[in-house]
Amino acid sequence: MAMETVFDVAVVGAGPAGLAAGLACAESGLRTIVIGPRSDPRDGRSAALMDGSVNLLKRLSVWDKAASAAAPLQGIRLIDATGGLVRAPEVLFEAAEIGLGAFGHNIPNSALTAALEATSHPLLTRLIDPRATVSDLAGSEAVLSTSTSEVIRCRLIVAADGRESPARAAAGISTTNWSYPQAAVVATFAHTRPHRGISTELHRPMGPLTVVPAPGNTSNLVWVESPEEAQRLADLDDNSFGRELSAHIGDLLGAVSGLTPRRTFPLSGRTADVLGRSRVALVGEAAHVIPPIGAQGLNLGFRDAATIAELAGAARRAGTDIGGDEVLANYDRLRRRDIASRVFAVDVLNRSLLSSIPGVHLARGFGLFALATSRRLRARVMREGVMPGSDVPEFMRPLHRSGEIPAARA
C-alpha cells in the first residue's frame, strides 16, 4: 500500500523559485513540502537579483549562505550599438541616485540554488524526486503521486515545475506563447579591468549583448544573436570567442580570458492565461517566460513566491481555504499587472532592436535621450525596475527587526 502524507502546501519543482516558495510558505506558518530533483551544478547561468529579491532571501535566512558568491550591481549602462544614422546617447543608471548602495546582486544559479537547498525550516520537508504527478484536483484536497508511489495530499499546489509545467496542464490552464528569431549565448569570463559593479548592455541589431558583474574581475555574459550565429559562437575555441567578444565590447573590461563552457538558449515568451485554478497556483516559468533581458525573469518568480506564501498564510490564520477560489483569484489579481508590464516592456525593447522600421529606432533613441537628460525620469525608471510601485509583498520589503513576520494582505 502506498504511503500517504498530508501537507498544507506542496511545491512541485525545486529550482530557485520553487525552493524560495517552499521556504516562504513554511515561514508563513504552512506545513510545506518541496518536490523535485536536485539542481544541475553545471548550470552556467546567473541571476541578477534586484533589491526586493535580496530582501526575500534575507528574510528566509538564505542570503548569508549566498552572499559570498554574489557581486553588487551598483550601476547599469545602456549603449546604443545598433549602427543607425542617429546614435542614442549612453545612459548610466546609478543606484546611489535613488539612495541605494546597489540595485541588487548578481549570483550564479548554482550558488543560489545551493544556498536555498542548504536552508532548513521546521515546517519544510524537501523530497528529492524527479517527478510529482497531479492525480486529483476535484475535492477539498489536491492529490499528487511521486515516482516511488508515495501519495501526497495538500490544500494548495504551488506549480514551479518550469515552462512546460505538467501541474499547470493538470489544472487545465492554457498559455499564450510566442517566439523570437534569436538565441542567447551564456558564459562567464575573466578580464583585466575592474567592472566597478556596473552592468553594461549593448543594444545591437540582433539583440542585446550584456556583461554583468561577478565577484572579482569576472563577469557573466548574455549575448543574443540569431540561432545560427549563436551556435557558431558557442562552437568557437576560447581564443577565437574571446577575440569576437572583445571586438564588440572594446577595451571596456580589458583583455578577456578564463572562459567557462558556453551554452545556448533559444528565446521565447509565454504567459499563463490565469495564474491559479483548481488548487494550483503558478510561479516562476510555469506562470511566465520572458527573454533574459533586463533581469526580470527570476525577480518576477520570487515576487510570485512571496505573494502566494503571504496570501495562503493569511488564509490559514483566518481559518479559510488556502487553496480555494478566493485565494487563487486574489493571487491572480495581485500578480497580473506586474507580470504583464514586465513582459510588455521586455518584448517591446527586444522587438525594437529587431525592427527594420526607421521610426521604431528613432523612438527608442528619443527614449534613451530622455533618460540620459532627465534625472527625475531616470529615478522613476530605476525605482520601478528594482521593485514595482504597488502590491509589493511584505516578504520583499527591508527586514528591520530580527524575526519580523510578514503582514497579511487582503
Determine the pLDDT at residue 391: 73
For the cut 90, the answer to whether the pLDDT of residue 67 exceeds it is yes
Determine the pLDDT at residue 404: 46
- Residue listed under C-alpha cell 530582501: 55
Query: Average pLDDT for residues 10-26, to the nearest whole number?
Result: 97
Between residues 398 and 60, the one the model is more confident about: 60
User: Average pLDDT of the chain?
Assistant: 88
Determine the pLDDT at residue 221: 94
* pLDDT per residue as tens digits for the range 387-406: 666 678 999 988 764 444 44
Contacts of 334 (CB under 8 A, 6+ apart): 307, 311, 391, 409
The share of the chain scoring above pLDDT 90, in percent, equals 65
Query: Quick one: three-class SS letters along the chain?
Result: CCCEEEEEEEEECCCHHHHHHHHHHHHCCCCEEEEECCCCCCCCCEEEEEHHHHHHHHHCCCHHHHHHHCEEECEEEEEECCCCCCCCCCEEEEHHHHCCCCCEEEEEHHHHHHHHHCCCCCCEEEEECCCEEEEECCCCCEEEEECCCCEEEEEEEEECCCCCCHHHHHCCCCEEEEEEEEEEEEEEEEECCCCCCEEEEEEECCEEEEEEEECCCEEEEEEEECHHHHHHHHHCCHHHHHHHHHHHHCCCCCCEECCCCCEEEEEEEEEECCCEECCEEECHHHCEECCCCCCCHHHHHHHHHHHHHHHHHHHHHHCCCCCCHHHHHHHHHHHHHHHHHHHHHHHHHHHHHHCCCHHHHHHHHHHHHHHHHCHHHHHHHHHHHHCCCCCCCHHHCCCCCCCCCCCCCC
* pLDDT per residue as tens digits for the range 187-242: 999 999 999 999 999 988 888 999 999 999 999 999 999 999 999 999 999 999 99
**Quick one: pLDDT band at residue 291, thresholds 50, 70, 90?**
confident
Q: Which of 137, 142, 171 is nearest to 154 (CA)?
A: 142
Query: Average pLDDT for residues 275-294, to the nearest whole number?
Result: 93
Determine the pLDDT at residue 365: 58
Determine the pLDDT at residue 401: 46
Grid coordinates representing 176 are 499564450
What CA–CA distance (Å, rounded) separates 242 from 227? 19
Query: Average pLDDT for residues 316-338, to the nearest whole number?
Result: 96
Residue 99, number of CB atoms within 10 A of its CB: 8
* Least confidently predicted of 9-18, 60-69, 237-246, 390-399: 390-399
* pLDDT per residue as tens digits for the range 76-106: 898 888 776 556 778 888 888 888 888 899 9
Q: What is the CA radius of gyration of the chain?
A: 21
For the cut 50, the answer to whether the pLDDT of residue 1 exceeds it is no
Q: Identify any residues that bridge with 50 across adjacent strands, giving them in sequence order.
A: 104
For the cut 70, the answer to whether the pLDDT of residue 369 exceeds it is no
Tell me the pTM: 0.89
Grid coordinates representing 138 are 476535484
What CA–CA distance (Å, rounded) separates 57 from 49? 10
CB 10 within 8 A of CB 157: yes
Q: How far are the Cα atoms of 36, 111, 165, 214 from residue 108, in angstroms, in the given order?
A: 20, 5, 24, 8
Grid coordinates representing 298 are 527570476
For the cut 60, the answer to whether the pLDDT of residue 107 exceeds it is yes
CB 233 within 8 A of CB 248: no
Query: Average pLDDT for residues 8-12, to the nearest whole number?
Result: 98
**Quick one: pLDDT band at residue 301, thresholds 50, 70, 90?**
very high
